[in-house]
Amino acid sequence: MISRPCSEGLFAEAQKIIPGGVDSPVRAFGSVGGTPVFIDRGNGSRIWDADGNEYIDYVLSWGPLLLGHAHPRVVAAIQEAAAQGTSFGAPTASETELAGLIQDAYPSMELLRFVNSGTEATMSAIRVARGFTGRNLIIKFEGCYHGHADGLLVKAGSGGATLGIPDSAGVPEDYARNTITLPYNDAEATKNFFKKEGKNIAGVIIEPVGGNMGLVPPVEGFIELLARETKNVGALLIFDEVMTGFRVARGGAQSIFGVRPDLTTLGKVIGGGMPVGAYGGQREIMEMVAPLGPVYQAGTLSGNPLAMAAGVETLRLIQEQGLPEALEERSRQLDEGMSEAARAANVSLWSVRRGSMFCSFFQDGPVRNFEDAKRSDTKKYAKFFHAMLDRGVLVAPSQFEVGFLSSSHTGADIEMTVRAAREAFSAL
């Protein structure tokens, strides 16, 4: 392992004042071991750490940077906005402009509102679903991450449709009880639960392509089943496209499956690297939100002008460059290169790819849900992660996170990455 004295020093300092030295747990390298790399700056597909080492970056701030780091037009848009004032707590034209650009790609979002993170978006969408239906139960799927709001930090008890138990200390069981967790891609469990509790269900929230247990696409017919079942009982279907939005396709997973969710949540890409989330959907449902309706939701910095400017410029560039669809060739090149390198080294790898997202499970597959994903060899993944890092390639510091491509990643970047992977696999 290459030593990184500056990162080590900065991490030691950070740990004295910030819990675990990080502001989000996965950054601490807990599941791969070692000291987190402190980043100094980024440009395009590259980042540089505090020790001056250069890396090809496939984390991309966990998804937002579809254009890569510090795109000159996005930076200029932020600078221009900042010079005019950083926040007003009053409406600005840029909010309507960004909303229009989003709606152009997500026509199901007839009305939409901006918040400051994906967590806020999903939390608010759930509140709207409960307010609209007058019901309490929310169904989520095991292995799907919807941010860290209390009611969504819940996984399954044993046997599928048991009552929710909290995933985190500090979440009251009384509260978690209203979140039911079912196995991803399990049509039987879903149908059974709807049969039993249908009239009590406010909504179903799902990552329509799972991206927080590694990459797990829905099986044929599963999304359609959810659309049917929710409609039958008057519950709302919520697509959490915080990660998949503008990533698996410009119009998100809903454009791929041709299913129109009642509510959609977005984040990550739409903020161009600034803190933004959005939720929206059918007009009649979104009219529940204050000041039009009784569901309260607010934010001092919501629709922040810097964030809106970054989002607007990002979505314009996405339109101009035909993203993320234009990344298909690079994505395929990376996928095939990695798979070939693994085969050559006799390493079991189950590779999955959707749009500009990819994932390599260290196992034979198939991976259809969280249980399957957990069969991966995480120790091997940790070794692979460090072998790649030492060769100048940053992949996610966990087996259960996906990799992201940007429009800045060149064919040469991919070749370098595959070369590094070949060495890393044979070192396993």
Ligand X SMILES: *Cc1c(COP(=O)(O)O)cnc(C)c1O
Query: Distance of alpha carbon 357 from its chain centroid, rounded?
Result: 10
* Catalytic residue of the set 49, 57, 186, 240: 240
Nearer to ligand X, 36 or 267 (CB): 267
- Count of residues that bind ligand X according to CB under 6 A: 15
Where does this chain touch ligand X (CB under 6 A) — which range of 115-123, 128-136, 184-192, 248-256? 115-123
Q: How far is the CB of 96 from ligand X (least distance, A)?
A: 22
Distances (CA, A) of 45 to 41, 99, 234, 332: 11, 28, 45, 17
Q: How many other C-beta atoms can be found within 10 angstroms of the C-beta atom of residue 346?
A: 9
User: What is the Cα–Cα distance from 95 to 93, expressed in whole angstroms?
Assistant: 5
Does residue number 184 form part of the binding site for ligand X (CB under 6 A)? no
Out of 49, 57, 95, 207, point to the residue binding ligand X (CB under 6 A): 207
User: What is the Cα–Cα distance from 126 to 161, expressed in whole angstroms?
Assistant: 19
Q: Which two tokens stand for residue 69?
A: 């780091």
Contact predicate 257/224, CB 8 Å? yes
Out of 32, 128, 129, 242, point to the residue binding ligand X (CB under 6 A): 242
Out of 53, 212, 369, 407, point to the residue binding ligand X (CB under 6 A): 212
Catalytic residue status for 413: no
Residues 6+ apart with CB under 8 A from 379: none
Catalytic residue status for 240: yes
Where does this chain touch ligand X (CB under 6 A) — which range of 142-150, 181-189, 228-236, 358-366? 142-150
Q: 307-340 burial by CB neighbour count: b if 16+ within 10 A, else e?
A: bbbbbbbbbebbeeeebbeebeebbebbbebbbe
* Catalytic residue of the set 49, 55, 57, 268: 268
User: What is the Cα–Cα distance from 319 to 323, expressed in whole angstroms?
Assistant: 7
Does residue number 71 form part of the binding site for ligand X (CB under 6 A)? no
Q: How far is the CB of 364 from ligand X (least distance, A)?
A: 26
Q: How far is the CB of 239 from ligand X (least distance, A)?
A: 10
Out of 66, 78, 105, 243, point to the residue binding ligand X (CB under 6 A): 243
Q: Which strand (E) or helix (H) includes residue 201?
A: strand 201-206
Where does this chain touch ligand X (CB under 6 A) — which range of 52-60, 102-110, 238-246, 343-351? 238-246
Where does this chain touch ligand X (CB under 6 A) — which range of 36-44, 169-177, 205-213, 320-328? 205-213
Catalytic residue status for 16: no
Does residue number 145 form part of the binding site for ligand X (CB under 6 A)? yes
Number of helices (H) and strands (E) in the chain: give both, helices first.
14, 16
Does residue number 240 form part of the binding site for ligand X (CB under 6 A)? yes
Does residue number 230 form part of the binding site for ligand X (CB under 6 A)? no
Strands 263-266 and 236-240: parallel
Does residue number 146 form part of the binding site for ligand X (CB under 6 A)? yes
Nearer to ligand X, 117 or 407 (CB): 117
The residue number with the shortest CB distance to ligand X is: 118
* Catalytic residue of the set 145, 184, 279, 381: 145
Contact predicate 125/267, CB 8 Å? no
Does residue number 151 form part of the binding site for ligand X (CB under 6 A)? no
Name the DSSP class of 424: H
361, 357, 403, 404: which is closest to 380 by C-alpha?
361
Where does this chain touch ligand X (CB under 6 A) — which range of 118-126, 191-199, 280-288, 325-333? 118-126
Name the DSSP class of 331: H
Does residue number 356 form part of the binding site for ligand X (CB under 6 A)? no
Q: Which strand (E) or helix (H) includes residue 351?
A: strand 350-354
Out of 119, 314, 331, 360, point to the residue binding ligand X (CB under 6 A): 119
What are the helix (H) ranges across 71-112? 72-83, 93-105
Nearer to ligand X, 95 or 240 (CB): 240
Does residue number 44 form part of the binding site for ligand X (CB under 6 A)? no
Contact predicate 72/408, CB 8 Å? no
The residues that touch ligand X, with contacts defined as CB under 6 A, are 117-119, 122, 145-147, 207, 211-212, 240, 242-243, 267, 277
Catalytic residue annotation: 145, 240, 268
